[in-house]
A and B are shown apart, each in its own frame.
Chain A
Amino acid sequence: MEDYKPPDLPSPFNNTTPPPTLLTQGAEAHLYKTTSLNPSNPAALKIRPSKPYRHPILDRRLTRQRILQEARCLAKLVREGVSVPALLALDWEGHGGEEGGWGGAWLMMEWIEGDVVRVVLEKWEAWMKNNQASLDESQIEREEAQVRGLLKKMGAAIGALHKAGVVHGDLTTSNLMLRPFAGADGAGAESVSTEGDVVLIDFGLASQSAQDEDRAVDLYVLERAIGSTHPRSEPLFDELLLGYRESYKGAPSALKRLEDVRMRGRKRSMLG
């Protein structure tokens, strides 16, 4: 950990002022906060550094393919009015490092305020754990209704995405953001607020598809991610599906396919 240093930024980001700040290191990409055109206009910069563990040919092929795919999906979704960050600029063959060699690809997007849903749910789960004893039944119910509402909004957002003919490919609670309504003051609230718009982010594995299979796999991936990271919210997944079902015409058939996809994991118990 001590001697860890993120890879060099591709140009021109290696000499912008102020320098981009690293927000997170995802699996595939580093996310920076930078500014676009003028210093008061924040923007998200996603860099896909080259992956030294991969064969260079395979690495270039995958990086290029994925950044272009991501850009095309974002452009399409913005056009269709789905709530995703707008695409500002990109380069699939960025130059970085001292030799000016292959430095990975980058993509600049609109800045989204707020937390990812994973954080919102974790905050809520922690809050519930601490306060459950002091809450009466109606308050607990109100809290759960609030989270159910959030899951329903998530379902609707995913439905809008699928309706536009795009599948995400890696839906987790880390890839959904809750953007608070403009002017809303989150601080001092009694519990964790779930007010706001659900914005989908990270289209690194997205593709254009209108097949039930792909849509169902999308939902299945999310279901498993929720099950493994938010055990407490897992029973509420049905709420998300409800929001999804109501969001567009093709939803019921995608949900039907989801049943099949669930049966497909390996070495499922043969009981029941």
Chain B
Amino acid sequence: MIAIGMEGSANKLGIGIMLHPKDGSPPQVLANIRHTYVSPPGEGFLPKDTARHHRAWVVKLVKQALKEARVSVDDVDCICFTQGPGMGAPLQSVVVAARMLSLLWGKELVGVNHCVGHIEMGRLITGATNPVVLYVSGGNTQVIAYSSQRYRIFGETLDMAVGNCLDRFARTLHISNDPAPGYNIEQLAKQGKQLVDLPYVVKGMDCSFSGILAAIDGLAREWGLGGEEKAKEDEKNIQKSVIAANEGLESTPTRADLCFSLQETVFSMLVEITERAMAHVGSKQVLIVGGVGSNERLQEMMGIMARDRGGSVYATDERFCIDNGIMIAQAGMLAYGTGYRTPLEKSTCTQRFRTDEVFVKWRN
């Protein structure tokens, strides 16, 4: 069985092709390509521009994916697409493309929940059997565990997603959005030494980030660390600040210190709620998925926590963590295998689509 997965719920357009061999051997990735819409420093991606980007690239990417996978259209069994959650306009443009291909090639459609796609791909790649899942990205922050045919949400953010918090602070500091703001924060944070006091907001298994963002934005303003000029200075001074940090000369925090403190604080919160969920359901495995999941500091912290509990952490790299097409193909094919189809007239998309709304027929 071969499926094409089409993902475009945020600024990444991903097309993936997966093969589920008939003899039951492990699924194979035939093609996994992605094109990212990158906005200038200091700005986020707007739905309108992102949708335009997806429309411009989708045909090209599908063609390229088929070529890379060395399959013809006839080999394809179904077309899987992201039904939500995500940004309305980018979702729309990808759904239109999926419908078009479905009609053109006479293939059936399978609508996929974006979060379930992440979970299934993570499970496939890492081989984790029944983990507690931390799904952290620019649009979602959830702690999920499987129980009786649903991926149940044990904890989640009460306001903004953790990735959004990091991205928006990157905007304040005018850090580049290429390849991703979170990645550049991570690199800058490696030079940070000083921990700045920030709010720490955990309510049971839920957490909140908007107050932290407001606090650290305020600190950046107070110390004059935001804005374009500082970002340029930063590039020149990297050498100098490393020396200064090593000699312990600094008294007021640097931009790197703020990134460091922000990461330490929000990741501690995430590890804490994950640990609480693990204790609650009695699981020893953690799977980290989503774009923020490719942050190595988060993986390291989670690893220490899991080790102290006698468990282990499963994480993947950016090919599978960050939004991609194969995860949609993978989750779609699992559903397709149980007989699930999305008829054309129901092939809509929605910005709000909770992880626990999906009936997980393929697991027991």
By a beta-carbon cutoff of 8 Å, the part of chain A in contact with chain B is 1, 4, 7, 25-28, 51-55, 57-58, 61-62, 169-172, 174, 205, 217, 221, 224-225, 227-229, 231, 264-270
In the complex the two chains form, what is the Cα distance from A185 to B349 in whole Å? 58
CB-nearest residue of chain B relative to A6?
A: B308
Q: Which of A58, A225, A269 contacts B268 (CB 8 A)?
A: A58
Assuming the contacts A58-B195, A265-B156, asked whether A25 and B354 have C-beta atoms less than 8 A apart, the reply is no
In the complex the two chains form, what is the Cα distance from A227 to B276 in whole Å? 17
Q: Which of B205, B284, B302, B305 contacts A221 (CB 8 A)?
A: B205
> Does B268 lie within 8 Å of A205, measured CB to CB?
no
Q: Which of A26, A57, A229, A269 contacts B352 (CB 8 A)?
A: A269
In the complex the two chains form, what is the Cα distance from A4 to B195 in whole Å? 31
> Does B284 lie within 8 Å of A53, measured CB to CB?
no
> Does A27 lie within 8 Å of B279, measured CB to CB?
yes
Assuming the contacts A52-B304, A58-B265, A231-B148, asked whether A267 and B271 have C-beta atoms less than 8 A apart, the reply is no
Assuming the contacts A27-B279, A267-B353, A269-B354, asked whether A170 and B302 have C-beta atoms less than 8 A apart, the reply is no
* B202 / chain A contacts, CB cutoff of 8 Å: 205
> Does A53 lie within 8 Å of B354, measured CB to CB?
no
B75 within 8 Å of A (CB atoms): no
> Does B272 lie within 8 Å of A27, measured CB to CB?
yes
In the complex the two chains form, what is the Cα distance from A7 to B156 in whole Å? 29
* A266 / chain B contacts, CB cutoff of 8 Å: 156-158
> Does B302 lie within 8 Å of A205, measured CB to CB?
no
> Does A4 lie within 8 Å of B304, measured CB to CB?
no
Within 8 A of A (CB), among B132-164: 140, 145, 147-148, 152-154, 156-158
Extra contacts besides A52-B308, A53-B302 (20): CB < 8 Å: A1-B284, A4-B309, A27-B280, A51-B305, A53-B271, A57-B195, A58-B264, A58-B265, A58-B268, A61-B197, A205-B202, A221-B203, A227-B152, A228-B147, A228-B154, A231-B147, A265-B158, A266-B156, A266-B157, A267-B354
Within 8 A of A (CB), among B240-289: 264-265, 268, 271-272, 275-276, 278-281, 284
In the complex the two chains form, what is the Cα distance from A229 to B152 in whole Å? 10
Closest chain B CB from A115 CB (angstroms): 16
B200 within 8 Å of A (CB atoms): yes
In the complex the two chains form, what is the Cα distance from A53 to B275 in whole Å? 11
B350 within 8 Å of A (CB atoms): yes
Would you give 23 A-B contacts (Cβ < 8 Å), ordered by A? Answer: A7-B308, A27-B275, A28-B272, A51-B308, A54-B268, A55-B195, A58-B195, A62-B268, A170-B204, A170-B205, A170-B276, A171-B204, A172-B280, A205-B202, A205-B204, A225-B280, A228-B153, A229-B280, A231-B147, A265-B156, A266-B157, A267-B140, A269-B353
B206 within 8 Å of A (CB atoms): yes
- Between A and B, how many residue pairs show CB distances below 8 Å? 97
> Does A26 lie within 8 Å of B279, measured CB to CB?
yes
* A231 / chain B contacts, CB cutoff of 8 Å: 147-148
In the complex the two chains form, what is the Cα distance from A53 to B272 in whole Å? 10
* B147 / chain A contacts, CB cutoff of 8 Å: 228-229, 231
Q: Is the interface of B mostly helix, strand, loop or mixed?
A: mixed
Closest chain A CB from B15 CB (angstroms): 25
> Does A58 lie within 8 Å of B278, measured CB to CB?
no
> Does B154 lie within 8 Å of A53, measured CB to CB?
no
* B271 / chain A contacts, CB cutoff of 8 Å: 53-54
Closest chain B CB from A201 CB (angstroms): 14
Q: Which of B204, B272, B280 contacts A169 (CB 8 A)?
A: B204
Assuming the contacts A51-B305, A53-B304, A270-B352, asked whether A221 and B206 have C-beta atoms less than 8 A apart, the reply is yes
* B97 / chain A contacts, CB cutoff of 8 Å: none
* B310 / chain A contacts, CB cutoff of 8 Å: 1, 4
> Does B264 lie within 8 Å of A270, measured CB to CB?
no
B357 within 8 Å of A (CB atoms): yes
CB-nearest residue of chain B relative to A171?
A: B204
B301 within 8 Å of A (CB atoms): yes
Closest chain A CB from B97 CB (angstroms): 24
> Does A62 lie within 8 Å of B85, measured CB to CB?
no
* B204 / chain A contacts, CB cutoff of 8 Å: 169-172, 205, 217, 221
* B200 / chain A contacts, CB cutoff of 8 Å: 58, 62
Give the interface centre of A25, A27, A55, A170 by most chain B CB atoms within 10 Å. Answer: A27
Within 8 A of A (CB), among B300-324: 300-302, 304-305, 308-311
In the complex the two chains form, what is the Cα distance from A58 to B260 in whole Å? 12
In the complex the two chains form, what is the Cα distance from A266 to B85 in whole Å? 11
In the complex the two chains form, what is the Cα distance from A55 to B193 in whole Å? 11
Give the interface centre of B156, B203, B264 by most chain A CB atoms within 10 Å. Answer: B203
Closest chain A CB from B192 CB (angstroms): 10
In the complex the two chains form, what is the Cα distance from A170 to B265 in whole Å? 20
Assuming the contacts A55-B195, A225-B280, asked whether A169 and B352 have C-beta atoms less than 8 A apart, the reply is no
* A265 / chain B contacts, CB cutoff of 8 Å: 156, 158
Closest chain A CB from B246 CB (angstroms): 19
Closest chain A CB from B216 CB (angstroms): 14
Give the interface centre of B197, B268, B309 by most chain A CB atoms within 10 Å. Answer: B268
Closest chain B CB from A226 CB (angstroms): 12
